[in-house]
Amino acid sequence: MMKISIVSPEKTLYMGEADSVIVPGTQGRFEILKNHAPIISSLSAGLLECKGAQPLTLEISGGFIEVSRNEVSICVEI
């Protein structure tokens, strides 16, 4: 499991754990799994999906993602 934090400029949208996260990167959709290499990437408009015990699907208009040591921080605009 990974710790997931999804925030917008207005509020925290999700805080929890997930098995995987699929995001709309500016170079195409990609998936983050446990033990993923550290990465920072920009996000484009599209669907963000967290898969796990509490699944979440969110339509975003852009943002950024940072992954480090099984912690995923995502800042999005809705």
Domain positions in the chain? 2-77
pTM, entire model? 0.91
Residue-level pLDDT at 52 = 87
Residue-level pLDDT at 44 = 97
pLDDT digits (tens, 9 = 90+) for 1-60: 899 999 999 999 999 999 999 999 999 999 999 999 999 999 999 999 999 888 999 999
Q: How far is CA 73 from CA 15, 57, 67, in A?
A: 10, 16, 6
Residue-level pLDDT at 53 = 83
C-beta separation of 27 from 46 below 8 A: no
64: confidence class by pLDDT, cuts 50, 70, 90? very high
- The CATH class of the 2-77 domain is mainly beta
Scanning the structure block, which residue is given the tokens 């983050």?
32
